[in-house]
Chains A and B, each alone.
Chain A
Amino acid sequence: MKDINLKINGKSYRLSTNEDMRLIDVLRDELGLLGSKEGCGEGECGACTILMEGRTVNACMVMAFQTDEKEIITIEGLSNGEQLHPIQQAFIEIGAVQCGFCTPGMILSAKAILDKDTNPTREMIRQGISGNLCRCTGYAKIVDAIELAGKLLRNGGNNCEA
């Protein structure tokens, strides 16, 4: 067993993990953070996308012991209590969620895009979500939602009426 210190969504966890566990296993099986999905398990689909030290990575492509002392954000860390994050609000508003399996990863890739630039071009958005597969929406509404989320962030809130 290997002891690791995890910092997930601002909370510290001290865990004893099996050497062969991946981050996705720890998130889902040990901590019950079921927002991150495991799709392909080989870095193709992006359903397990999380933010590590501010950058998107696939949680199925990181060994748990490699995340010792790393700052991690999962979908569970985005809303502020009942208050949804502007990106989440925008996805609902536009109807960018169908089956929802890709949504947590998609939203974290969206966050990485908008953390860099709250006014990205559609091409920048498409590039930024190119590692997240969605088999329902055809992506158009997801791109629309990320554009709207950028606008909400620029206006400093998640009021879609404004």
Chain B
Amino acid sequence: MSLKNVYVAKTLDEVLNLLNQYGCESKLIAGGTDVIIQLREKEISPKVLVDISNLSEINFIDESEDKITIGACTTFTTIAESSILKDKLKGLVQSAESVGSPQIRNAATIGGNICNASMAADIVPPLLALDAEVLIESKAGKRRILLDHFLMGKGKVDIKPEEIVTAITFNKPKNREALGFGKLGLRKALAIARISTAIYLSLDEENTCRKIRIANGAVGFRGMREKEVENIFIGKQLTEDVINMGIEKLREELNQRLAGRSSAEFKTTAIAGIFKKALLETANNCKE
């Protein structure tokens, strides 16, 4: 057994000190739903485990005038039940509700989902569509980075061994803006996303798309923005024709990205339905 020491951290300071001391010999554990599997399959073999699941300092959902900040140790159950994150941010709630099972949602955290960097991470597409930033701390100081830059690839994020993600922050939707989400799994509960999509939309009174950010999960080596598709929509009215043009572009993008994979044909077909449903729901939510 490589594991020599385990700590239950009570304060963020304690965590920063431990990370500073042990660096790459240490691993943080919060909900444990990914880390414990990795430990048992010997994908990771840290000498020190630092439990951060009791850190109330980074377990919060905070709303200011124009921003929402979610502490990294906030569980999916807390996100799904939050009174701050409903209505215009329904997409975030739906994605949290779609994670695993009640047992998993009671333990697993938003910070863990991001740092584990699965290509199918449920919370990543909505956060990318929100253009969220990741707040990171170490003993040396704090930094913030766009989630889009933080995610480097499958299982890879831009974090140093002595750093910890403390929170995720994004702008609150304004009038006639909303976030939507859609997911296709093999079944309803405990399903790894085969495709997930998130759409942040801003519509004016004439149903014209002022802003749109689209992000998909499980159709690339990480959750990613679909900027080419976004360009189809910007400045145009959301008519049936424009939506179909957008879907065509999306399928083109996926076709390129998934070329050679056995799932390519299924995914490029299925994305049309998932995306259209999520887009129409988001557009309706903008108008409410």
Contact = CB atoms under 8 A, between A and B. Distances in A.
B40 to A, nearest CB: 7
A62 B32 contact: yes
B36 interface: yes
B100 A65 contact: no
Interface in B1-15: 1, 3-6, 8
Given A20-B1, A131-B189, A112 B32 contact: no
B39 interface: yes
Contacts of B4: 19
Nearest to B30: A66
A76 interface: no
A56 interface: yes
Given A19-B6, A63-B49, A56 B40 contact: no
A58 B104 contact: yes
A154 B156 CA distance: 51
Which among A18, A56, A128 has the highest number of chain B CB atoms within 10 Å?
A: A56
Given A56-B106, A58-B103, A61-B103, A20 B190 contact: no
Looking at chain B, what size class is its interface with the partner chain? 20 to 34
Which among B5, B51, B102 has the highest number of chain A CB atoms within 10 Å?
A: B102
Which among B1, B103, B106, B188 has the highest number of chain A CB atoms within 10 Å?
A: B103
Contact of B8 (A20, A65, A128, A132): A65
13 contacts: A19-B1, A43-B103, A55-B77, A56-B102, A58-B103, A63-B29, A65-B6, A66-B8, A68-B8, A130-B101, A130-B188, A130-B189, A131-B102
Interface of B: 1, 3-6, 8, 29, 31-33, 36-37, 39-40, 49, 51, 53, 77, 100-104, 106-107, 188-190
